[in-house]
Amino acid sequence: MASKQHANWSPYDNNGGTCVAIAGSDYCVIAADTRMSTGYSILTREYSKICKLADKSVMASSGFQADVKALQKNLAARHLIYQHQHNKQMSCPAMAQLLSNTLYYKRFFPYYAFNVLGGLDSEGKGCVFTYDAVGSYERVGYSAQGSGSTLIMPVLDNQLKSPSPLLLPAKDAVTPLSEMEAVDLVKDVFASATERDIYTGDRVEIVIVNAGGIRREYTDLRKD
Amino acid sequence: MGVLVKEAIDVPPKGGFNFDLCRRNEMLLKKGVQAPSFRKTGTTIVGLVFQDGVILGADTRATEGPIVCDKNCEKIHYMAPNIYCCGAGTAADTEAVTDMVSSQLQLHRYATGRESRVVTALTLLKSHLFSYQGYVSAALVLGGVDVTGPHLHTIYPHGSTDTLPFATMGSGSLAAMAIFESKYREGLSREEGIRLVCEAICSGIFNDLGSGSNVDVCVITKGHKDYLRNHMLPNPRTYVSSKGYSFAKGQTEVLSTKIMPLREKVELGRDV
């Protein structure tokens, strides 16, 4: 009995990479490596996976970068319309829901994008939202997505141990670490993931959102 | 008599692989059971002939899919005092086949009383790989110096071989060959040869995701060999947290405790 003929062409490709975000009491750290690859080859060592969607919302996405680019354009356009209609920037929780709806809109031909959204909520506290490819999202204290996520999440779980948002009474999800300590943890965690994941490396781009605005830092990683 | 005839038909074919379990494997896959992955050396391996002999080079990364399982493995295998072999493909296959032929060569040396020849190793390897029809996934770069001179060969998993002045194999072979094709010439000196081999391996390390970490080099000349393990270490760890990590007692939540005594503990009274 012949099995069904499967397509030899796939509309998706995986460009690899890892994204991490950590929420603090008055800051949010969003980081992603800058390597873009396909199969066993490197396409470029200097590709930014991080996109500023609003004043206090920054998204990092790994997966298929063509879909990520399309998703970023889509969200930027919707944010512009919002600004024209409401005369203000979108808050981070509002942007989080917009991203979820945008992803679910393409439930039957998904964006191959694994996203983490980070920023400050309306109270100025750090917030991180983590997504799957079709829009299921949750506000968390920290998250990792992408090829190195399975290597990084256990370390973050051990060091940050954020309580689940489903616990009652509601506990603060943000980490008590200072901004400097969080950035140090992110650098170390990326250096470790780079050792064991072939798709992570080259450089890590770290974006820090706090009351003073948005700041960018870069650290070198192994290039092999 | 019917029983005897049945037994004669049931005798399994001799030699090579027994494929009886392939139907079972297909059935398991359909049921959703994942086959165990095997460790492949993503790999860049090279060899070149220089004026005094041959130089072999290899990277040191072993991968299991997208994960690095060994950051510093040895891919240059000993075959004989004057012959070494680099291996790419399934790690178990390259280890097993080079160990096997290495012991066969030693027995042959005892029988003949002579130094092993590279073509002997070549013939033993290629006939073994051919008889397994490519299922032993080992791609090798074999090099050495014997009484007939320096030799360098490549051996493919199906058993074909090439004799070349410079060769590359593995997932990083194109990156390394680009360097060789551009910079190789006949009659290189030892320093030039080592430098070229390192450059080719580094090209594989940095441009191929299946290869990485360090460079191993092996220089074989008439009557002498230099196994330069970790000759180059171009990939140190980039960042070490100064804060460090503490795993104090109590950091991991203990959900439940159950103590099971394995041996009866007897309390002795203080009478003595």
Chain B residues whose CB is inside 8 A of the A224 CB are 61, 205-206, 211-213, 234-235
Say yes or no: B204 contacts chain A, CB-CB below 8 A.
no
Chain A residues whose CB is inside 8 A of the B67 CB are 196-198
Residue B84: closest CA among B9, B31, B143, B44: B143
User: What distance in Å separates the CA atoms of residue B93 and residue B135, rounded to the nearest whole number?
Assistant: 9
pLDDT number for residue B2: 44
Q: Inspect the interface and report whether the beta carbons of A184 and B234 lie closer than 8 Å.
A: no
Closest-CA residue of chain B to A156: B245
pLDDT number for residue A113: 96
Q: Are strands B166-169 and B45-50 parallel, antiparallel or unpaired?
A: antiparallel
Chain B residues whose CB is inside 8 A of the A194 CB are 238
Taking the CB of residue B75, how many other CB atoms lie within 10 A of it?
A: 26
CA distance B237 to chain A (A): 7
Bond into A110 cis (ω within 30)? no
User: What distance in Å separates the CA atoms of residue B198 and residue B219, rounded to the nearest whole number?
Assistant: 12
Say yes or no: A181 contacts chain B, CB-CB below 8 A.
yes
pLDDT band at A184 (very low <50, low <70, confident <90, very high): very high
CA distance B240 to chain A (A): 6
Model pLDDT for residues A33-88, shown as the tens digit of each residue: 999 999 999 999 999 999 999 999 999 999 999 999 999 999 999 999 999 999 99
User: What distance in Å separates the CA atoms of residue B174 and residue B122, rounded to the nearest whole number?
Assistant: 23
Q: Render A3-31 in DSSP notation, one character per residue.
A: PPPPPS--S------EEEEEEBSSEEEEE
Whether residue A205 has pLDDT greater than 90: yes
Question: What is the pTM assigned to this prediction?
Answer: 0.84
Q: Are B79 and B144 in contact (CB under 8 A)?
A: yes
Say yes or no: A154 contacts chain B, CB-CB below 8 A.
no
CA distance A32 to chain B (A): 16
User: What distance in Å separates the CA atoms of residue A171 and residue A139, rounded to the nearest whole number?
Assistant: 12
CB-nearest to B206 from A37, A195, A224 is A224
pLDDT number for residue A133: 94
pLDDT number for residue A6: 77
CA angle (B197 as vertex; B100, B186 as ends), nearest 5: 100
For an interface test with A, which of B68, B238, B242 has the most A Cβ atoms less than 10 Å from its Cβ?
B238
Residues 6+ apart with CB under 8 A from A163: A141, A171, A172, A173
Chain B residues whose CB is inside 8 A of the A148 CB are none
Q: Inspect the interface and report whether the beta carbons of A224 and B242 lie closer than 8 Å.
A: no
User: What distance in Å separates the CA atoms of residue B126 and residue B142, rounded to the nearest whole number?
Assistant: 11
The rounded mean pLDDT for chain A is: 93
Q: Inspect the interface and report whether the beta carbons of A198 and B63 lie closer than 8 Å.
A: yes
Model pLDDT for residues A137-167, shown as the tens digit of each residue: 999 999 999 999 999 999 998 888 766 556 6
What percent of chain B lies above the pLDDT cut of 90? 71
pLDDT number for residue A4: 76
Say yes or no: A8 contacts chain B, CB-CB below 8 A.
no
pLDDT means over runs of 10, chain B (272 residues) = 49 65 85 71 90 96 91 95 96 95 97 97 96 94 97 96 96 96 96 97 95 96 95 91 80 81 82 64
Q: Which residues of B are catalytic?
A: 43
pLDDT number for residue A171: 67
pLDDT number for residue A123: 93
Residue with tokens 């980490």: A175
Tokens of residue B104, six digits: 């066969």
User: What distance in Å separates the CA atoms of residue B46 and residue B181, rounded to the nearest whole number?
Assistant: 12
